[in-house]
C-alpha cells in the first residue's frame, strides 16, 4: 500500500470523526493512481474496469460495471438527479465502488469531484463494502442515556471487531449512527431493515448468535 494511503488509513482509525474527509482524500489518492496508470499504459480500457493496481502492487478495486451501466441507462431517460442514481448504485453493489463513481461521472457529465463530494457528504452512502448484515447502533441522546455504551461494548465483544469494521467471515459490519427515530424504544439498533429495541447485553448477544446459527445451516 502507498505510504500516503497507509498514513490516511492510520489517521482514520485514530480520528474516526474525520472519516468522511479522509475518505475523500483516499478517493483522490486512488484517482491519482488511476491517472498514473493511464499515463503509463495509454490504454483507457485498462482504467475502465479490467484491473487497477497501484505501483506498489496493492489492488484498488475491480468491479463489474454492467449494473451501473444499466442503472445509468434507466436514469438518463428519466432525467434523474445524482443522489437517486447513487442510491441505486449502492443498492446494487452494497456500497459505492470508486470505479462505478467514475462511470457515473463519465456518463452524466457531472465532474468526478462533485460525484465524490455528494457520495462522501451524505451518511446514507457507503464507500466501502459491508458485511451481509449491517449493524447500526444508535448513539443518539436517548439511546446514550439508556446505555448504548454498554451495548457497544457487548457488540464489539460478540463480533470481535471495532466500530466501522467487518467480521472476518464477511457476515457483519458494525457502525454507530445518530438517532434512528424510535427514541422511546432506546437503546436501539438496526440490522439491515430490522429494528431491535430495548437492548440489553444479553439480548445483543443472543441476536448475533441466532443470526450466526441461521447462516451456518
Q: Taking CB positions, which residue lies at the least distance from ligand FES?
A: 140
Buried b (16+ CB within 10 A) or exposed e, 182-202: eeebbbbbbbeeeebeebeee
DSSP characters for 51-108? --B-TTS-B-----THHHHHHHHHHHHHT--HHHHHHHHHHHHSS--HHHHHHHHHHH
Our finding on whether 204 is near ligand FES (CB under 6 A) is: no
The reply to whether 143 sits near ligand FES by the rule CB under 6 A is yes
65 binding ligand FES? (CB under 6 A) = no
Mask for 158-197, x = binds ligand FES (CB under 6 A) = ---------------------xxxxx--x-x---------
In the complex, minimum distance from the CB of residue 203 to ligand FES, in angstroms, rounded to a whole number = 15
> Does residue 123 belong to the site contacting ligand FES (CB under 6 A)?
no
Residues that bind ligand FES (CB under 6 A): 138, 140-143, 179-183, 186, 188
Amino acid at each position: 500500500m502507498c505510504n500516503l494511503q497507509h498514513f490516511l488509513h492510520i489517521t482514520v482509525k485514530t480520528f474516526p470523526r474525520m472519516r468522511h474527509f479522509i475518505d475523500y482524500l483516499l478517493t483522490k489518492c486512488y484517482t491519482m493512481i488511476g491517472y498514473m496508470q493511464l499515463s503509463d499504459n495509454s490504454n483507457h480500457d485498462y482504467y475502465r474496469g479490467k484491473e487497477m493496481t497501484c505501483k506498489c502492487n496493492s489492488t484498488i478495486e475491480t468491479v463489474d460495471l454492467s449494473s451501473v451501466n444499466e442503472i445509468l441507462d434507466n436514469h438518463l431517460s428519466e432525467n434523474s438527479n445524482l443522489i437517486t442514481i447513487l442510491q441505486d448504485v449502492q443498492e446494487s453493489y452494497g456500497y459505492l465502488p470508486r470505479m462505478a463513481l467514475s462511470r457515473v461521472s463519465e456518463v452524466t457529465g457531472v465532474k468526478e469531484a462533485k460525484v465524490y463530494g455528494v457520495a462522501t457528504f451524505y451518511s446514507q452512502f457507503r464507500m466501502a463494502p459491508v458485511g451481509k448484515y449491517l449493524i447500526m447502533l444508535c448513539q443518539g441522546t436517548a439511546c446514550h442515556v439508556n446505555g448504548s455504551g454498554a451495548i457497544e461494548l457487548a457488540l464489539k465483544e460478540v463480533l470481535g471487531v471495532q466500530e466501522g469494521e467487518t467480521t472476518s467471515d464477511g457476515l457483519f459490519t458494525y457502525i454507530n449512527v445518530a438517532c434512528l427515530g424510535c427514541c422511546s424504544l432506546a437503546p436501539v439498533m438496526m440490522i439491515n431493515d430490522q429494528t431491535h429495541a430495548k437492548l440489553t447485553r444479553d439480548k445483543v448477544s443472543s441476536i448475533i448468535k441466532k443470526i450466526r446459527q441461521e447462516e451456518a445451516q
